Amino acid sequence: MSQQLPDIDLYQKVVHEQDAQALRHLYQKYEKLIYSFSYKMTQDQEVAEEAIQEVFLKLWKKHAPYDESKGKFSSWLLTMTRNTCLDALRKRNRHETVEYIEKDTLRVTEETPADILEWKEKGSAIQECISALKDEQQNIVQLFYFHGYTQQAISKETDTPLGTIKGRIRLALKHLKACLKGKGGDEE
């Protein structure tokens, strides 16, 4: 892959010129991140694959227009991925109860792609900050943010009264923000 245009320029080519090559560049850059994030959310290789397909199809079909007022392209892409995964989880949860089990066939690697430097940087910072939370807060953040549980489901899963879930999330978010700030993260 040769040195390529900035994300926003590639995106413009995709939507204005229907440039499939530009889409492929974006795909190649973000495949591993989007797939890994989708897998973290859905804990299911098949659903993660479906989600990444959906994300790039939406991009191609301009179902989710992006402009720079929405922040960084990568953040927007990740938010779209998360929403797509949540839709997939909702669809699946209507039919079955899901248990999150690590699959042994999964190929976990240590490598983050060289052209997404922030994955390594932000990844270790956020992981450290999450680990620094109390166990109960970590658990709730996992269920709420990464698995998209409803408040009701979190309450049931963690045996916590419904009314206290929000307070715990709020506290966990404050801790995460403060911790990241301490690490010189660029979040506002």
Partner 1 sequence: MTQQCDRVLDYYNGHLNEIEKAAFEKHLSECDDCQEILADLHSLEDTLPYAAEPVEPPEGLEDRVFARIEAEDHPHSAKAAPLRPAKKKRQWMMPSVAALLAVSLFGNAYLFTQLSDDADIVEQATIDQVLQYAELAPSAGDASGTASIIEQGSEKRLVVQASNLTALSQEEVYQVWLLQDGQPERAGTFVIDNEGRGSVIFTLNEEYAERDWDTVAVSLEPDANSETPQGEIVLASEI
Contact 156, 163 (CB under 8 A): no
| Residue 5 or 166 with smaller CB distance to partner 1 | 166
DSSP letters, 20-59, are: HHHHHHHHHHHHHHHHHHHHHHH--HHHHHHHHHHHHHHH
The residue (of 12 and 138) whose beta carbon lies closer to partner 1 is 138
CB of 10 to partner 1, least distance (A): 15
Closest contact distance (angstroms) between CB of 57 and partner 1 is: 6
State the nearest-atom distance from the C-beta of 64 to partner 1, in Å. Answer: 14
What six digits make up the tokens of 158?
A: 């963690």
Of residues 5 and 174, the one with the C-beta less far from partner 1 = 174
Picking from 135, 166, 136, the residue whose alpha carbon sits closest to that of residue 151 is: 166
